[in-house]
Chains A and B, each alone.
Chain A
């Protein structure tokens, strides 16, 4: 999922302080799971903002709504008939949702309510870690299912580097060396032969280096 983190309320207040009718818009998927932008977080933020503005003597209407997703037309359409009631929206979806909202409702300012961090997993409640950088050409088949692009600080494809100590990365002693993990895993799989194979230069044009990306699937297009 896409992992996001909450933005401080002070920052949100700064973004919206000149508006009078504001919709706080959550998303029911990734940001709900990482407890940054689901229905509950929408409720907490809306309640805090209502109290803040009332206490400031500012008359501001703050409403709450949470959509199934904010990265699909069909769900964003659900609020079309109420959008004229608002002069700003704070979207608690990831950056994808914020932008899709802004594209769809381009005369209403849409403000981000979370910081979008990475594609990752819930290791335990309250701890999320990165797993994938969406490089566009997955090499996990060769690396024992552990991604050096996202988990090796240097993104080495033929690692490890000389800096790994006791299985930890040199940039941070708490961080596992991705290549140590890969080697351990390949050993467990009895596939150490794979480790001996040199990975050729990766085609980075499918990654962000090639500019914004697009996937077109004619087979499923209508």
Chain B
């Protein structure tokens, strides 16, 4: 299946979304990512039982932090799909891309440029 999804999305593979920590997501933003979405298996379908629930909680924590520091919590999102749902992945990617384009670039980038 060859599906089109926005080309500026960089995919990082992890064995389970439960591996993704608050710190990983924050570091991505610190390095200038405009948005981060964590895509996990469907709720209830995690091979490691609760990895995707943990990931969701962590994304929520990141959203809170981003709101507090003025970067915008909406830039971090959690999505769920099953491994056979390629088209849904493409749809999420497009959705995320649109959301982030509306929000504009990560303010970090501008601030870094100014500071330099």
- How far in angstroms is the closest Cβ of chain A from B69? 4
Alpha-carbon gap, A59 to B111, bound state (A): 10
Q: How many residues of B contact A (CB 8 A)?
A: 18
- Chain A 51-69 interface mask (CB, 8 Å, partner B; 1/0): 1101111010000000000
The reply to whether A55 and B111 contact each other, CB–CB distance below 8 Å, is yes
Please give me the residue from chain A that is nearest to B111 by CB atom. Answer: A54
Partner of B65, one of A9, A43, A54: A9
The reply to whether B30 and A10 contact each other, CB–CB distance below 8 Å, is no
Say if the beta carbon of B23 comes within 8 Å of chain A: yes
Chain A residues near B21: list those with CB within 8 A. Answer: 40
The reply to whether A59 and B115 contact each other, CB–CB distance below 8 Å, is yes
Alpha-carbon gap, A50 to B108, bound state (A): 10
Say if the beta carbon of A47 comes within 8 Å of chain B: yes
The reply to whether A44 and B26 contact each other, CB–CB distance below 8 Å, is yes
The reply to whether B23 and A51 contact each other, CB–CB distance below 8 Å, is no
- Chain B 31-62 interface mask (CB, 8 Å, partner A; 1/0): 00000000000000000000000000000000
Say if the beta carbon of A48 comes within 8 Å of chain B: yes
Chain A positions near chain B (C-beta within 8 angstroms): 8-10, 40, 43-44, 47-52, 54-57, 59
A-B contact pairs, 15 of them (CB 8 A): A9-B69, A40-B21, A44-B26, A44-B65, A47-B23, A47-B26, A49-B69, A50-B30, A51-B71, A51-B108, A52-B69, A55-B71, A55-B107, A55-B108, A55-B111
Chain B positions near chain A (C-beta within 8 angstroms): 21-23, 26-27, 29-30, 65, 68-71, 107-108, 111-112, 114-115
